[in-house]
Amino acid sequence: MEAALTYLYTLASLAVTFGSFAVIAVALRQEIGGSLGKTHLFITRVFIELAILVAVLSILPGFLALIKLQEEHLWRFASVIAAFLILIWSISYPIRRHKAVRAGRFALVVWVNSGLNATAFCSLAVNIVSISDASGAFYAAAPTIMMLRLWGNFLHNLDTFVRRK
């Protein structure tokens, strides 16, 4: 369990650092003379939300370890909480994005992001319903996938923030 917790703490640090970096990069848009429209603000909010989500999911098992749950129950309980948070966020994301971007159809990026969310959710579901012992590896896969999503979203939207209009 120690290796999984160490990995998750490192991931939490990366999430907070990258979230901060992303916000600074967005602030540079204003510095070079660009304004932040509704779409920019939504994308920035998604960066912040994903960074916080990854950080929270990453420190959750460590917190649960403090209340002395058995390891198998710890990973299963953490998976239930994480799956709930990812599910709520995943359901609200396309709706909020549609309102902010005002696109007629969902873009490919929405489908890719939804697929990544579903993959993270499924890794947690394996832990929840597993007949064998719940695993830190399946749990850690979820915040890792969400972190990869954050990086991908940042790179996908970088041109949106750097380009002047």
pLDDT tens across the length of the chain (165 residues): 788 899 999 999 999 999 898 888 778 777 777 677 777 788 888 889 999 999 999 999 999 999 988 887 899 999 999 999 999 998 888 788 777 777 666 677 778 888 888 999 988 998 888 877 768 888 999 999 999 988 888 887 777 666 655
Whole-model pTM: value is 0.85
Phi/psi at 55 (5° precision) = -65, -45
Tokens matching residue 47: 């960066």
Give the pLDDT score at 28: 78
- The tally of domains found in the chain comes to 1
What residue numbers bound the domain in which 141 lies?
Answer: 2-162
Give the pLDDT score at 164: 54
Report the b/e string of 3-37 with b at 16+ CB within 10 A. Answer: ebbebbeebbebbeebbeebeebbeebeeeebeee
